[in-house]
Chains A and B, each alone.
Chain A
């Protein structure tokens, strides 16, 4: 899996200041208990999702180091996993990461136009973040929504059958609500 993001340098001073919120630490402990004794490494992926939601949507080397401490692992065991999976951001991102699917069915139904439209509207290219730190535009591979193409994902939310009007509306809503969107968000579950 190619990960084009360069890893940032480790800062020991910053590392000392990092601590997750109590509810986050509690849910991490609950996750660890799912696995047999000594297999707490299994908690890696879910814990990294929590870590990302706790750290402004991206995983710095300092955060990864902290996760290693929580799970009783070597830092490198955490780094190598974080750099493998495409949902972990290894550099800062905007509050709302707009991930536009580019594969097969979305592609045949205008995925490129969606990227072009959002890019023009926000004045950024794919991979870039708006200067106000609100939006990052990202192109991704198949998100399993081929029957409702074209589509994009932002945090936990799936936006399907995209039209220019729908894109306008969702960007306006995100601007108004002005908060970070995480994969771990709960509100989309019941509204869907």
Chain B
């Protein structure tokens, strides 16, 4: 995405003049679909939507029965709180996604592809539609592209406000015009996806990464980053920092540098102290200050899939979607956990009982605690409810709702207890905005 700052890059002419659509030319004129997939495998690219599954492997699972159409669907439903990178990419440089869709569709043998974008991004869908119209007009879409005999139609589909539609099978249900209830897997979309045909669903950033992979080769892409975290990643930085925004980083950047250097987040806003950080979107465990820049074993924490999850959930978290939310010392953890739980209660599709009922109860109990009306048993009650949801639902929304609550209690139990024992201090609904309710927790002393 290095060209996102070129003035006018949203238009076809500027994009093309800056080397745009070279990957389509290269793939369609000189490569077989299998060769493109092979490059993606070599690149080590992992899904950028949050799960981090190797993209080349996902592509190679696609069933290819004779006479059955195959589909590529781009997941642009970006609804994970703290994540806004796909919107930035699509708004700034829409042709990059269109180009990636063409090259990827060619690799998968799809002749109809969809970009499913969340309904709130309606204006972004218009930007994409303009880009697609320009691509048709210049012969990059339609029949017999570049005389290769390959046909492709690409459409934008808008959603209508549902976090759950970012789950790939719920997205497919929604694309078929139904409620966004996730499907039971297996069968996986690679075998039975859209209209029960083999389908690949990939995140916007994943599809965009296919462009440099085809242009420069999978090995060149794999040379960027560290170990199994190859390439670059868009990070959406938000919360109490000096410079919120979208940053493209090379995987392997130390968290400390990302958080405090002026090139990226620029440190904590208003001269405050760091209290905690959610490094990968609302669903991943929160990290207290002493585990943000260092792992539990004292190594530097890096922006990679592996380093951020170092220590498992006990002392680590996840890279997730790259939604990097930072909290300063004034923020109340109980309050922010309640905020997340309200989100999940609202967004649970209601299909599985543990999630439907559990998210509701977690929100109710957290609200009670937050208002200073809870008791000490409530804290273990929350841990119990979270445990009962985790792993017991069709889709990962249940886990996503349970993890932040469990992690907040794991690292900040003292703050939950404070809400019970000093209830009078949290009666003001805006407690924690003006001054810290408790000092930042130091690292535990290991004997």
Q: Which residues from chain A sit less than 8 Å from chain B, CB to CB?
A: 1-2, 34, 36, 39, 41-46, 48-49, 71, 77, 80-81, 84-88, 102-105, 107-110, 112, 140-149, 153, 156-158, 183-184, 186, 188-189, 192
User: Is B198 interfacial (CB-CB < 8 Å)?
Assistant: no
8 further interface pairs, Cβ-Cβ under 8 Å (given A107-B336, A146-B83): A1-B346, A49-B119, A49-B122, A84-B180, A104-B282, A144-B120, A145-B87, A158-B123
Q: Is the CB–CB distance between B178 and A103 below 8 Å?
A: no
Q: Is the CB–CB distance between B339 and A104 below 8 Å?
A: yes
A–B complex contacts, Cβ < 8 Å, 19 sampled? A1-B180, A2-B345, A41-B177, A42-B157, A43-B177, A44-B177, A49-B119, A81-B178, A86-B346, A108-B240, A108-B336, A141-B163, A141-B342, A144-B83, A144-B84, A144-B121, A146-B238, A156-B123, A183-B120
Contacts of A103 in B (CB 8 A): 81, 282, 339-340, 343
- Taking the nearest CB of chain B, how far is it from the CB of A153, in angstroms? 6
Please, what's the 1-or-0 string for B102-135, where 1 marks a CB less than 8 Å from any CB in chain A? 0000000000100000111111001100100000
- Taking the nearest CB of chain B, how far is it from the CB of A136, in angstroms? 15
Q: Is the CB–CB distance between A41 and B236 below 8 Å?
A: no
Contacts of A109 in B (CB 8 A): 239-240
Contacts of A80 in B (CB 8 A): 179
Contact of A146 among B118, B155, B177, B244 (CB under 8 A): B244
Identify which of residues 246-287 in chain B touch chain A, using a CB-to-CB cut-off of 8 Å.
246, 278, 282
Contacts of B78 in A (CB 8 A): 144
Contacts of B348 in A (CB 8 A): 1
User: Is B242 interfacial (CB-CB < 8 Å)?
Assistant: no
User: Is B158 interfacial (CB-CB < 8 Å)?
Assistant: yes
Q: Is the CB–CB distance between A1 and B339 below 8 Å?
A: no
User: Is B162 interfacial (CB-CB < 8 Å)?
Assistant: yes
Contacts of A140 in B (CB 8 A): 161
Contacts of A144 in B (CB 8 A): 78-79, 83-84, 86-87, 118, 120-121
Contact of A145 among B84, B158, B429 (CB under 8 A): B84
Q: Is the CB–CB distance between A108 and B239 below 8 Å?
A: yes
| Residue in A closest to B176 when the chains form the complex, CB atoms | A42
Contacts of B374 in A (CB 8 A): none
Q: Which residues from chain B sit less than 8 Å from chain A, CB to CB?
A: 69, 78-84, 86-87, 91, 112, 118-123, 126-127, 130, 153, 155, 157-164, 174-180, 195, 236-240, 244-246, 278, 282, 323, 325, 327, 331, 336, 339-340, 342-343, 345-350, 429-430, 433
| A188→B87 CA distance, assembly (Å) | 15
Q: Is the CB–CB distance between B244 and A141 below 8 Å?
A: no
- Taking the nearest CB of chain B, how far is it from the CB of A76, in angstroms? 12
Contacts of A108 in B (CB 8 A): 239-240, 325, 327, 331, 336
Q: Is the CB–CB distance between A87 and B119 below 8 Å?
A: yes
| A170→B244 CA distance, assembly (Å) | 23
Q: Is the CB–CB distance between B84 and A147 below 8 Å?
A: yes
Given A104-B81, A104-B339, also A87-B160 (CB < 8 A): yes
The secondary-structure label for the interface of chain B is: mixed
Contacts of A88 in B (CB 8 A): 160-161
Given A41-B177, A80-B179, A146-B238, also A156-B122 (CB < 8 A): yes
Contacts of B340 in A (CB 8 A): 103-104
Q: Is the CB–CB distance between B83 and A107 below 8 Å?
A: no
- Taking the nearest CB of chain A, how far is it from the CB of B413, in angstroms? 21
Contact of B123 among A44, A102, A112, A188 (CB under 8 A): A188
Q: Is the CB–CB distance between B126 and A186 below 8 Å?
A: yes
| A34→B156 CA distance, assembly (Å) | 10
Given A85-B159, A104-B336, also A189-B126 (CB < 8 A): yes
Q: Is the CB–CB distance between B162 and A85 below 8 Å?
A: yes
| A52→B343 CA distance, assembly (Å) | 25
* Most chain B CB neighbours (cut-off 10 Å) among A48, A84, A144, A158: A144
| A102→B177 CA distance, assembly (Å) | 28
| A129→B86 CA distance, assembly (Å) | 33
Contacts of A158 in B (CB 8 A): 123
| A112→B239 CA distance, assembly (Å) | 15
Q: Is the CB–CB distance between A36 and B81 below 8 Å?
A: no
| A143→B163 CA distance, assembly (Å) | 10
| Residue in B closest to A161 when the chains form the complex, CB atoms | B244
Q: Is the CB–CB distance between A1 and B350 below 8 Å?
A: yes
| A77→B177 CA distance, assembly (Å) | 9
Contacts of B120 in A (CB 8 A): 87, 143-144, 153, 183
- Taking the nearest CB of chain A, how far is it from the CB of B405, in angstroms? 14
| Residue in B closest to A71 when the chains form the complex, CB atoms | B177
Contacts of B180 in A (CB 8 A): 1, 84-85
Q: Is the CB–CB distance between B162 and A148 below 8 Å?
A: no
| Residue in B closest to A36 when the chains form the complex, CB atoms | B195
Contacts of A102 in B (CB 8 A): 339, 342
Contacts of B236 in A (CB 8 A): 146-147
Given A1-B346, A146-B82, A189-B127, also A104-B163 (CB < 8 A): no
| A145→B78 CA distance, assembly (Å) | 11
Contacts of B158 in A (CB 8 A): 45-46, 49
| Residue in A closest to B243 when the chains form the complex, CB atoms | A147
Q: Is the CB–CB distance between B195 and A39 below 8 Å?
A: yes
Shortest Cβ-Cβ A-B pairs, 3 listed? A44-B177, A85-B160, A86-B161
| A41→B278 CA distance, assembly (Å) | 39
Contacts of A44 in B (CB 8 A): 177-178
| Residue in B closest to A84 when the chains form the complex, CB atoms | B179
* Most chain B CB neighbours (cut-off 10 Å) among A1, A42, A49: A1
Given A107-B336, A147-B244, also A112-B162 (CB < 8 A): no
| Residue in A closest to B165 when the chains form the complex, CB atoms | A85
| A112→B350 CA distance, assembly (Å) | 27
Contacts of B91 in A (CB 8 A): 192
| Residue in B closest to A187 when the chains form the complex, CB atoms | B123
